[in-house]
Each structure stands twice: as structure tokens, then as C-alpha cells.
Amino acid sequence: MKGLANVGDTLAGKYRVDKILGIGGMGMVVQAMHLDLDQRVALKFMLPAALESPEASARFLREARAAGRLTGEHICRVIDVGRFESGSPYIVMEYLEGYDLGTLLKRRGPLPIAEAIDYILQACEGMAEAHALGIVHRDLKPDNLFLATRVDGGRIIKVLDFGISKATVTGLATKTGDILGSPAYMAPEQMQATKDVDARADIWSLGGVLHQLLSGKTPFSGDTLPGLCLAVMNQPAPSLVTLRKDVPPPLAEAVLKCLAKRRDDRFTDVSDFAQAIAPFGPAGAVGAVTRVRSLLRGRATPTTLPPSDDEAHRSNQGVAPTLVES
């Protein structure tokens, strides 16, 4: 393999490439079939030019390690990692049917309030598990929140791309001076020093995504990258009540709290954020807050979470809930 895979190629002796899903500056993602298991997967690997950068290689492997530690249903699951004969690494992930929230916004524009809250609460569940393990994503944006279709036809948010995540437990961090992430969703402190971030940088990003889901616009903009960065650093975020008449003021205030310039002025953690926005979400939103808080506090694993509102209701009526493990 010389870098670019073609449909029909067999990679690592067991993955047949069925479709090219995407090619970026650093890597390539393909839909592949595990020939021994007859299982469809997504396979991600680096391009030759990217392999010349030690930091890029480390970032790629960091994604595998970070995502591999997470087992919840709201994280895109890592199935395997390995190296091709050339020595370049690859990651095998679950294959997801659907599209990301960036694509959804392009198709539909601003979303109904309850629907937008639902998606963000699901993202909070995924990030609660990550934050409990000391993993900060640092690049949450609509393109990294994937609306996947379940086997039963239902839809679920999956958090993608932990490639620039910071694992505070193990001390992983980027070099001083690197700017990694997407500036439109990047917290001010992350622009100043990428290694000086904690979970509150992800809360900033989630607030920015929710702002866009409800208004169709990012909270900050600029004609140039320096202009955008200056706006993030210095300008106050616009209130959603000025952009959309049906947004309740408390919801708009919650989003503004996420986007506070000083991280000490933001929500302490994703469970506090989830609790603030849940009243404006769909039925069952309160149960999502409970799951977020349990995951964040480390009192539950993704397969031993408290029941949803529907399950609790059935239990109170003497009907045993059906437990489904992801």
C-alpha cells in the first residue's frame, strides 16, 4: 500500500475496501469488510506525508487510546488498532450509518428546541464518560457529533474524533505553541495555550454547538482566522433571544454561561450544563441528566446506568424494564 487505498484493495490481510468515505490532509477513512467476520467497519489510517510528522503520528495513536478507553454508546467504538506492513498505524472503528450534525444543519437549518437539546444531552453523556477518565476532547463541533441510525431505526448521537484529545490522567498534551481544534468552537484559553485546558473547554464547545443548532450561526465569526480569534477572545457572545423569538431566556442564559470568557464563570461540569438545559428538552431529558451525573461521578458504567423515565415508569407499575447493553 503506497498511501491511498482503492476500492477492492485488501488491507492488513483482512479488510476489503468497499467505499472511500473521506480523505483529509492527514488521513483517510474507508468503509471496509472484515473478511473473516463478515463485519462492516470503518478503517482510518494516515497518509504518507502525515507519517513524516512525529506529532501527527502521536496524535493519531492518541485518538485510538482515548476512544479505546471509552465503552459508552455515545462514543464511536474502537474495535482494533494495528500497523500495516509499512509500519504505519491504522484504527478500526464501528461503521456508522447516518450523518453528522454539520450536515444536518446544512439540510434543515436551525432545529426545533427539544430536538437540539436532545442531541446535546446525548453528547453530554458521551463526554461525561470521557471527562470521568480525565479525557478532554478539545475539538467538539457539529462535524464531530454524528447522528447514527440504530439497527431498530432509532437515532443516536456518537462523539467522533478524539485525535487531539488531552488525557490529563496520563499527562498527554500538545507542544506549547500548537493551535489544534476548530477556532469557531474553541475556548479562549485553548487559543492561548492548547495544553492549558480542562473539561470546561469542552463545555464551551458544547455551548457553541447548541447555539448553532438553535440559530443556524456560530456564536463568533470573522472574515479571517485572526479576526475570528479576536472575536472569540474579546467579543461577548450574542444572546439567542436576540436571534430566535421562541428561545426561553433561561436556555439562552445557559448557552451564554457556557461561552463565558473566564472558565471559572462557566458550568463546573457537563452534568450542571445538562441540568440547566434539560427542562427545554424532550420527555426523558431528566433521565439523561441522571445518567450524565452518574457517569461523571464514576458511580456507574455505561451498562449499569440508572433506568430511563420510561423504564422507571414501567417498573413502578410492576413491569420489569428491558435492559439492552450497547
| Bridge partners, residue 166, by sequence | 136
> Is pLDDT at 211 greater than 60 in this prediction?
yes
Res 163: pLDDT = 54
Confidence grade of residue 310 (pLDDT, cut at 50, 70, 90): very low
Please compute the mean of the pLDDT values over residues 5-9 and round it to a whole number. 91
Q: Which residues are catalytic?
A: 139
Dump pLDDT digits (tens) for 16-45.
999 998 887 677 889 999 999 999 999 988
Here the contacts of 189-196 (C-beta below 8 Å, separation 24 or greater) are 189/263, 190/138, 191/229, 191/232, 191/233, 194/138, 195/166
- Alpha carbon 144 to its chain centroid, in Å, reads 5
Mean pLDDT of the chain, nearest integer: 83
Containing 209, the helix (H) or strand (E) segment is: helix 199-215
Query: What's the pLDDT tens digit per position in 250-268?
Result: 999 999 999 999 999 999 9
Residue type, 277: I
Domains of the chain: 13-94 (3.30.200.20), 98-310 (1.10.510.10)
Beta bridge partners of 43: 30, 92
Place of cell 503506497: 2
pLDDT band, very low/low/confident/very high, at 177 (cuts 50, 70, 90): very low
pLDDT at 167: 42
Q: Which three cell numbers stand for residue 142?
A: 457539529
Assigned C-alpha cell, 82? 494495528
Residue indicated by cell numbers 472558565: 263
| Max CA pair span of the chain | 62
**Rounded distance between C-alpha atoms, residue 185 and residue 141, angstroms:** 6
